[in-house]
Amino acid sequence: MTEPSEKDLEFLTRLKDILTSNLSNEDFGVSELADAVNMSRSNLLRRVKKAAGVSVSQFIRDFRLSKAFIMLQESDVTVSEVSYAVGFGSTSYFTKCFRELYGFPPGEAAQYAKNHEEIVRRRSSIKKYTFAGLLVLAVAALIYAGITYFQGTPESGLTYGKSIAVLPFVNNSNDVGNTYFVNGLMESVLNDLQKIEELKVVSRTSVEQYRNNPKSMTAIGDELRVTYLVEGSGQKVGDQIVLNVQLIHAAMDIPIWSEEFRRDASDVFELQKEISKIITQFIEVMVTPEEEERINKRYTNNLIAYDYFLQGFEALNNSKTQVDLEVSVEIFAKAIKEDSAYSRAYAAIAMAYYYMDVFQANKTHLDDLNYFADQALLYDDELAQGLIAKSLYYRTKGDCERAIPYLEKALVYNPNSGLALNFMSDIYALCLPDTEKYLIHALKGLEINTIASDSATTSINYMHVSNALVQNGFVEEAEHFIKISKKFDPSNIFADYLEAYILYARDQDLQATRERLEKTLARDTTRLDVLQEVAKVCYYQRDWKSSYAYFRSFVDARDRLNLAIFKNIDGEIAYVFDKVGKTKESKKFMVSYREFIDVNPNFSKDLDMAMYQSYIGETEKAMQLFETYSKDPRVNYWSLLFLDSEPLLDNIRETEDFKALFQSMTSSFWERHEALEKTLGIIELY
């Protein structure tokens, strides 16, 4: 980071004066500071990031802690008193933050140094050392400040709290056939760590790209946004296992623990648990008794069944075709033959059957998915993989309400399950729309799946976060993430037209939005999703002739391909067709729209029916339905942007009652937006 300018220093001094005046107020956070300096949160973020190189929340936290450091020099104050005096409502959280910043607990502050700035300067000036000099560095650091690990370097300057990634283990054997076994050891350690709620654990798909990758640990840590990395290598020779594992502080590129294990193959289960326990102890993560019990659980005691399971898991992870999936099922079946109560094997077969059907119109393996999910839960009703499989059975059937409780339980037993988080965000985005829950799960999913196994999937992950952000009114943040999405995959047309709408949310220029969408459509004229989006923008412009031309192309293609898609826009099609004199066809589409409303399970049913009733002249019924919709907490930002110009609502849109309801709906939305912003610290995602 470059040195701050004189103007930047003056700005930071102003912020510190404001924070000093509100030091004991634990509710004085980013939003309050932004209000105090008459800036938006996003502008404050950028200004502080430029001047101080940290987020606003970190700037506030570190300032409070620096004041605490000074107070702790006084012998007559307790840690608890200081924590409340500097705005921490929880002494335990204050202690955690203090230790993370300084490397020692607040109760020991007076022992190590009197000068706060000197400690911070020395801690931030430690540079990377060669492995040969590591011991000297560690001893010197321990003597100086009683610290076990470090919080940053000038190269990256970043740590990411209690977060970790388990990198692919290396097979040291000349026998490539042992790779599945070494990968299984890595998977077991990963699976154990994922069960700890206090620890953020990056998914296997995100780390797979670093197999045989020459990047530095610091670079990998920054890309995955984790503080710690686990590296491993090993081999199995006959009945002997040799495994080398090290825990690395990524920002410093320094191992803080490494060990070689030589064990009998029969001790493999104990070895896996031992490694997980050592790691959690070194990074001082809190493991609850319930989490420890789940970590210590054995899914099988049968080594032959376990070996088959690892082979099947390797086949499942590397599958690219239906045949590959069928092979994995056959191997898992061998594991179950050896141990008929092997819950993990049952769950794995269920997932294989799900993937066999996922892109098929005819779901031929639905019963298999259900049976094996039930078998997994029969032998272990807390198995996250079994719960996810059962949820997918209901999701595939279209019964999302019954799918959700299984995913919620899966996240209780495995808080870092990327699969569960992704499926939850999918449900709240498409099946049971709920913008707030969509955003919460999409954000958490992105933390776990920072980088997917390929750029296209990574692009989609960022696109989902962008979509969830804009639906909750976070336009600048949505624009930021959609740019990342397009950077990973410039060919992502979904991202292309989502960006067009995000820019509309920013500028509210329908003509510019139309031109962007037409440009996107020109990239692939077969994309019916984009075609109907262009038609809708023309509809909102009340350019009936152009809207009809696009809708006509869409309807003809939909009929030709015999697709029952986008039935929710048949009301708009009916309206446009009526405007251009296609009365007979218009009536047919309005009937279709009414049929769609009748089977629509979503909360938007009230809005759809309000638009239908408004169109046919039943204005009193339309107003009642719109009132019900306007009070629903799941209303998203698109409603605010488009409903006050919605042609289907023309018969009620200019009434005073409608305007009052629309204004109330708008106020409620922004109140929820502000509450969500405080809860999640959305801006800090930059």
Say which amino acid occupies 179.
Answer: T
Residue 681's pLDDT band (cuts 50, 70, 90): low
pLDDT at position 136 is 31
Which residue segments constitute the domains of the chain, with CATH numbers given? Answer: 6-125 (1.10.10.60), 163-287 (3.40.50.10610), 303-414 (1.25.40.10), 482-680 (1.25.40.10)
Flag the least confident range among 102-116, 132-146, 270-284, 492-506. Answer: 132-146
Which parts of 398-454 fold into alpha helices (H)? Answer: 400-413, 418-426, 435-448
The residue ranking higher by pLDDT, 201 or 142, is 201
CA distances from 276 to 122, 191, 353 (A): 32, 9, 31
| Cα gap 392→369, rounded to integer Å | 8
Strand partners, 232: 245
User: 228: part of which helix (H) or strand (E)?
Assistant: strand 228-237
DSSP letter at 645? G
User: How buried is 487 (Cβ within 10 angstroms: 0-12 exposed, 13-18 middle, 19+ buried)?
Assistant: middle
Q: Is the dihedral of CA 195, 201, 202, 204 positive or negative?
A: negative
pLDDT at 229: 95
Structure tokens that stand for 368 in this block: 């298999």
Q: How far is CA 482 from CA 212, 469, 677, in A?
A: 30, 10, 19
Lowest mean pLDDT among 9-18, 392-401, 477-486, 517-526: 9-18
Which tokens is 170 given?
């290396």
pLDDT (0 to 100) of residue 408 = 96
Across the range 340-366, mean pLDDT stands at 94
Query: What value does the mean pLDDT of the chain take?
Result: 87
Count of beta carbons in the 10 Å neighbourhood of residue 573: 30
Percentage of the chain beyond pLDDT 90 is 61
Grouping H, G, I as helix, E, B as strand and the rest as coil, residue 261 is: strand
For 210-214, 327-331, 345-349, 432-436, which range has the lowest pLDDT when averaged over its residues? 210-214
Q: What percent of the chain has pLDDT over 70?
A: 91
**pLDDT, tens only, 586-599:** 999 999 999 999 98
The pTM (predicted TM-score) of the whole model is: 0.73
* DSSP state, residue 103: S
> Residue 42: which pLDDT band, with cuts at 50, 70 and 90?
low
Stretch 402-412: mean pLDDT, rounded? 96
pLDDT of 102 reads 78
Does the pLDDT value for residue 350 go beyond 90?
A: yes
CB contact at 8 A, 379 and 346: yes
Q: What is the pLDDT of residue 486?
A: 95
pLDDT-wise least confident of 265-279, 394-408, 639-653: 265-279
List beta partners, residue 164.
Answer: 201, 228
pLDDT of the residue at 603? 84
pLDDT at 648 over 70: yes
SS3 at position 200: strand
* Buried b / exposed e along 320-335 (16+ C-beta atoms within 10 A): eeeeebebbbebbebb
Give the 3-state secondary structure of residue 473.
Answer: coil
- From CA 128, how far away is CA 146, in angstroms rounded? 19
Q: Is the pLDDT of residue 159 over 50?
A: yes
Residues 407/385, Cβ–Cβ less than 8 Å: no
pLDDT score for 364: 94
Helices marked H in 22-108 — which ranges?
30-36, 41-52, 56-71, 79-85, 91-102
Pairing of strands 228-237, 240-249: antiparallel
* Burial annotation 63-81 (CB, 10 A radius, 16+ → b, else e): bbbbbbbebbeeeeeebee
3-state secondary structure of 233: strand
- Residue 263 predicted with pLDDT over 60: yes
Residue 683 binned pLDDT confidence (cut-offs 50, 70, 90): very low
pLDDT given at position 142: 32
| pLDDT, tens only, 619-633 | 999 999 999 999 999
Whether the predicted pLDDT of 644 surpasses 50: yes
The SS3 of residue 651 is helix
Q: Which residues of 383-396 are buried (b: 16+ CB within 10 A; e: fewer)?
A: bbbbbbbbbbbbbb
**Residue 426 to residue 581: CA distance in whole angstroms:** 40
Residue 564 pLDDT grade (very low, low, confident, very high; cuts 50, 70, 90):
confident
Residue 444 pLDDT greater than 80, yes or no? yes
Non-local (6+) Cβ contacts of 269 within 8 A are 298, 301, 306
Decide the pairing of beta strands 228-237 and 170-171: parallel
Average pLDDT of span 186-196: 93
Give the chain's count of helices (H) and strands (E): 35, 6
- Indicate the pLDDT class of residue 115, thresholds 50, 70 and 90: low
For residues 329 and 590, what is the distance between their CA atoms, to the nearest angstrom? 48
